Amino acid sequence: MSEDKKTSELSRRGFMKVSAAAMAAASTPMFFTKGAWAADFRNNPGNAGSVKLGFNVPQTGAYADEGADELRAYKLAVKHLNGEGDGGMLNTMTNKALKGNGVLGKKVEYVTGDTQTKSDAARSSAKRMIEKDGVLMVTGGSSSGVAIAVQGLCQEMGIIFMAGLTHSNDTTGKDKRRYGFRHFFNTEMSGAALGPVLEKEFGKDRVAYHLTADYTWGWSQEGSIKKYTEQLGWQTKAAVRTPLGAGDFSQYITPVLNSGADVLVLNHYGKDMVNSLTQAVQFGLRDKQANGKDFQIVVPLFSRLMAQGAGANIKGIYGTTNWNWSLTDEGSKAFVKSFGQEYGFPPSQAAHTCYVQTLLYANACEMAGTFYPPEVIKALEGFKFDGMGNGPTEYRAEDHQCFKDVLVVRGNENPTSKFDLLQVVQEVPRAQVEYPADMLGGDLGPYKV
Amino acid sequence: MTTPAIRNDWAVMAIFTVAVLTAPLWLAPIGANYPDLLQKFAIFGIFAIGFNILFGLTGYLSFGHAVFLGVGSYTAVWSFKLLTMNVIPAVILGTVMGGVFAVLIGYVSLRRSGIYFSILTLAFAQMSYNLAYSVLTPITNGETGLQLTQQDPRILDGPAGEGLPSTTLFGLEMSGYSGFYFCAVMLILAFYISLRIFRSPFGLKLQAIKSNQTRMKYTGFNTKPYLLVAFVISGMFAGLAGSLMAVTDPLAGAERMQWTASGEVVLMTILGGTGTLIGPLLGVGIIKYFENIFSALNEATLHAFFSFMPDWLANVMVAISSQFVGEGWHLTLGVLFMLVVIFLPGGVMEGIRRMTAAVRNLSKQKPTELEPKEAEG
For the segment A19-39, what is each residue's pLDDT rounded down to a tens digit?
A: 555 555 554 444 444 334 434
Q: Are residues A329 and A317 in the same domain?
A: no
**pLDDT at residue A440 greater than cutoff 50:** yes
pLDDT on residue B332:
85
- Inter-chain residue contact B256 with A6, CB threshold 8 Å: no
Question: What mean pLDDT is predicted for residues A393-406?
Answer: 92
Q: Are residues A107 and A156 in the same domain?
A: yes
Q: Are residues A195 and A243 in the same domain?
A: yes
Domain boundary among A370, A386, A404: A404
- Inter-chain residue contact A119 with B255, CB threshold 8 Å: yes
pLDDT on residue A407:
92
Kindly report which listed range (B100-109, B128-137, B153-162, B275-284) carries the lowest average pLDDT score. Answer: B153-162
- Is ipTM over 0.90? no
* C-alpha span between A262 and B160 (Å, rounded): 49
Q: A-chain residues within 8 Å CB-CB of B175?
A: 156
Q: What separation in angstroms does the CA of B254 have from each of A177, A183, A256, B63, B288?
A: 24, 29, 28, 16, 20
**pLDDT at residue A220 greater than cutoff 70:** yes
In a domain, A420, yes or no: no
**pLDDT at residue B20 greater than cutoff 80:** yes
pLDDT on residue A107:
93
- Inter-chain residue contact B4 with A145, CB threshold 8 Å: no
Domain boundary among A260, A290, A321: A321
Domain boundary among A299, A321, A343: A321
In a domain, A334, yes or no: yes
**pLDDT at residue B3 greater than cutoff 70:** no
pLDDT on residue A319:
92
- Tell me the CATH number of domain B6-275, given options 1.20.58, 1.10.3470, 1.10.1060, 1.20.1630: 1.10.3470
Question: What mean pLDDT is predicted for residues B95-100?
Answer: 96
What total of structural domains would you count in chain A? 2
Q: Residue B146's pLDDT band (boundaries 50, 70, 90)?
A: confident
Q: Are residues A363 and A243 in the same domain?
A: no
Q: Are residues A86 and A116 in the same domain?
A: yes
Cβ(A50)–Cβ(A105) below 8 Å: no
**pLDDT at residue A402 greater than cutoff 90:** yes
**Burial of B338 from C-beta contacts in 10 A (0-12 / 13-18 / 19+):** exposed
- Inter-chain residue contact A215 with B2, CB threshold 8 Å: no
Q: Are residues A65 and A78 in the same domain?
A: yes
In a domain, A436, yes or no: no
**pLDDT at residue A338 greater than cutoff 80:** yes
Q: Residue B319's pLDDT band (boundaries 50, 70, 90)?
A: confident
A197–chain B nearest CA distance, Å? 31
- Inter-chain residue contact B296 with A3, CB threshold 8 Å: no
Question: What mean pLDDT is predicted for residues A69-78?
Answer: 93
- The CATH number of residue A158's host domain is 3.40.50.2300
**pLDDT at residue B342 greater than cutoff 50:** yes
Mean pLDDT, chain A, rounded, equals 86
Domain with A144, as residue range(s), is 50-185+325-404
pLDDT on residue A7:
44
Kindly report which listed range (A32-36, A231-235, A272-276, B240-244) carries the lowest average pLDDT score. Answer: A32-36
* C-alpha span between A307 and A299 (Å, rounded): 11
pLDDT on residue B377:
41
pLDDT on residue B160:
64
pLDDT on residue B376:
44
Q: Are residues A207 and A109 in the same domain?
A: no
pTM greater than 0.90 (yes/no): no
Residue ranges in chain B assigned as alpha helix (H) = 6-21, 23-26, 35-58, 66-82, 87-109, 114-130, 137-140, 176-199, 201-211, 213-218, 223-248, 259-272, 279-292, 299-305, 311-321, 329-343, 347-362, 371-376
Q: Are residues A237 and A343 in the same domain?
A: no
Q: Are residues A145 and A271 in the same domain?
A: no
A305–chain B nearest CA distance, Å? 20
In a domain, A18, yes or no: no
For the segment A284-331, what is each residue's pLDDT rounded down to a tens digit?
A: 888 888 888 888 899 999 888 888 888 888 888 999 999 999 888 999
- Inter-chain residue contact B164 with A145, CB threshold 8 Å: no
Q: Are residues A215 and A302 in the same domain?
A: yes
pLDDT on residue B1:
41
Q: Are residues A142 and A163 in the same domain?
A: yes
Q: Is B121 helix (H, G, I), strand (E, B) or coil?
A: helix
Nearest CA in chain B to A153: B249
Specify the pairing of strand A293-294 against strand A422-428: unpaired
Nearest CA in chain B to A20: B18
- C-beta neighbour count of A55 within 10 angstroms: 26
Question: What mean pLDDT is predicted for residues A254-282?
Answer: 88
Question: What mean pLDDT is predicted for residues A105-126?
Answer: 88
Specify the pairing of strand A160-163 against strand A180-182: parallel
pLDDT on residue B374:
44
- Among the partner residues A11, A110, A120, nearest to B7 by beta-carbon distance: A11
Q: Are residues A136 and A258 in the same domain?
A: no
In a domain, A434, yes or no: no
**pLDDT at residue A379 greater than cutoff 90:** yes
**pLDDT at residue B137 greater than cutoff 70:** yes
Q: What separation in angstroms does the CA of B354 have from each of A1, A8, A344, B56, B283?
A: 14, 20, 53, 20, 17
Q: Residue A18's pLDDT band (boundaries 50, 70, 90)?
A: low
Segments making up each domain of chain B, as ranges: 6-275
- Inter-chain residue contact A124 with B142, CB threshold 8 Å: no
B143–chain A nearest CA distance, Å? 5
For the segment B189-214, what is each residue's pLDDT rounded down to a tens digit?
A: 999 999 999 999 999 999 999 998 88
Kindly report which listed range (A365-369, A443-447, B71-75) carries the lowest average pLDDT score. Answer: A443-447
